[in-house]
């Protein structure tokens, strides 16, 4: 309550809030934040929300409460949220601002949907999404995989060759999610991000890696296939830290392109290679096929990777006007 009182005093001193007493039962910003954090806690317990998402929600909403937690929701304005964002000089990236606003808007929408507390943030605009879609060259992949321990190498190799989200999908794969068919191996992938399950075929080299890992993590054990050297599950914190140290080790931290590489670059590498026909003689797949493989909607896949698709999958466009290679063979 001391923090809430201080937040109210701060707003009063800034002239943004009249110093009037709160009526009993009024919804304040702190209560909205608390309800949403509890919702995320239940989601983690039920394995429908990732621990990384819960951590981000807790961080941003607690920070907002320190700024204006005691403010009645009815008095909250979009300008208050804008002032809160602007007060963080270190939040330079539009992606950081977008994440913070996404969390805050979701919290108020949750209270509106579940407690009939009207959200005062309707129409609050977020910075446009600008995904960082850097992918690894073949040479950089070889250098990367040659510089890491076997456990991290297996994890990164599988990420590059399947396109799975590193921490909410690949890190959670177990032998029970593996299915062997006459045509080859398939993985059943559940994403805590999309709350959906999909089945994807995997390449023969990934199948061989999977069978090797299943010796230590057999069916029924519940043990993830991909673990750290210490036998722990890969999570965002240790994965990000390992990759950051790796960039420094390889001297990539001073390179204008390579300094942006991350574990997620493995997913982008897979997407770009699929669209350019990297594994099948230059015959790129469609955006719809890519979306099915990586667990995105076709719209999201096109928004993220459409430029790559346009460069490498133009034959249908030429064929449509009668001057493609297929038309020329007639």
Q: How do residues 184-222 score in pLDDT, each as one tens digit?
A: 999 999 987 778 899 999 999 999 999 999 999 999 999
Q: Is the residue at 20 inside a domain?
A: yes
| CATH code of 211's domain | 1.10.443.10
The predicted structure's pLDDT at residue 23: 38
Residues 88 and 169 grouped into a single domain: no
Q: Is the residue at 326 inside a domain?
A: no
The predicted structure's pLDDT at residue 21: 39
Q: Is the residue at 131 inside a domain?
A: no
Cα 329 to Cα 242, 277, 314: the distances in Å are 52, 22, 17
Residues listed for the chain: 330
| CATH code of 6's domain | 1.10.150
> What pTM value is reported for the model?
0.67
Could you tell me the two tokens for 1? 């309550």
Does residue 172 contact residue 190 with C-beta atoms inside 8 Å? yes
Q: Is the residue at 249 inside a domain?
A: yes
Residues 80 and 25 grouped into a single domain: yes
- Smallest CA-to-CA distance from 265 within 111, 136, 77, 91 is with 136
The predicted structure's pLDDT at residue 326: 46
Q: Is the residue at 127 inside a domain?
A: no
Residues 188 and 92 grouped into a single domain: no
The predicted structure's pLDDT at residue 103: 96
Q: Is the residue at 239 inside a domain?
A: yes
Positions in the chain short of pLDDT 50: 1-9, 12-13, 17-25, 326-330
Residues 191 and 277 grouped into a single domain: yes
Residues 306 and 183 grouped into a single domain: yes
Q: How many domains does the structure of the chain reveal? A: 2
Question: How is 52-109 classified by DSSP, letter by letter?
Answer: HHHHHHHHHHHHHHHHHTTSBGGG--HHHHHHHHHT-TT--SHHHHHHHHHHHHHHHH
The predicted structure's pLDDT at residue 310: 59
**Taking each helix axis from N to C terminus, what angle separates 298-312 and 264-276, rounded to the nearest 10 degrees?**
50
Does residue 175 contact residue 31 with C-beta atoms inside 8 Å? no
Q: Provide the residue range defining the domain that includes 251.
A: 138-317
Q: Is the residue at 233 inside a domain?
A: yes
């Amino acid at each position: 309550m001391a923090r809430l009182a201080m937040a109210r005093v701060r707003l009063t001193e800034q002239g943004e809030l009249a110093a009037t007493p709160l009526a009993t039962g009024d919804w304040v910003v702190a209560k909205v934040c608390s309800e949403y954090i509890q919702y995320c806690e239940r989601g983690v317990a039920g394995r429908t929300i990732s621990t990384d998402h819960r951590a981000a929600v807790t961080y941003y909403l607690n920070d907002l409460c320190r700024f204006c937690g005691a403010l009645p929701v009815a008095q909250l304005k979009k300008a208050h949220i804008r002032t809160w964002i602007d007060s963080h000089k270190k939040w330079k990236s539009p992606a950081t601002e977008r994440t913070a606003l996404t969390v805050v808007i979701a919290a108020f929408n949750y209270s509106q949907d579940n407690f009939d507390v009207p959200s005062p943030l309707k129409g609050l605009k977020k910075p446009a999404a600008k995904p960082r879609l850097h992918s690894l060259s073949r040479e950089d992949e070889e250098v990367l995989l040659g510089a890491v321990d076997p456990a991290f190498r297996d994890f990164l190799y599988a990420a590059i060759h399947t396109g799975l989200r590193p921490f909410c999908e690949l890190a959670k794969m177990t032998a029970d999610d593996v299915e062997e068919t006459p045509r080859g191996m398939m993985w059943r992938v559940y994403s805590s991000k999309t709350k959906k399950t999909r089945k994807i075929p995997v390449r023969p080299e990934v199948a061989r890696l999977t069978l090797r890992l299943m010796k230590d993590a057999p069916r029924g054990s519940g043990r993830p296939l991909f673990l750290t050297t210490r036998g722990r599950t890969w999570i965002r914190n240790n994965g990000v830290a390992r990759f950051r140290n790796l960039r420094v080790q390889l001297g990539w931290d001073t390179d204008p392109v390579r300094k942006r590489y991350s574990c997620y670059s493995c997913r982008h590498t897979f997407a770009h290679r699929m669209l350019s026909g990297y594994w099948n003689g230059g015959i790129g797949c469609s955006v719809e096929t890519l979306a099915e493989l990586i667990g995105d909607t076709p719209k999201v896949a096109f928004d993220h990777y459409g430029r790559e698709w346009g460069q490498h999958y133009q034959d249908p466009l030429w064929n449509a006007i009668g001057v493609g290679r297929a038309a020329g063979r007639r």
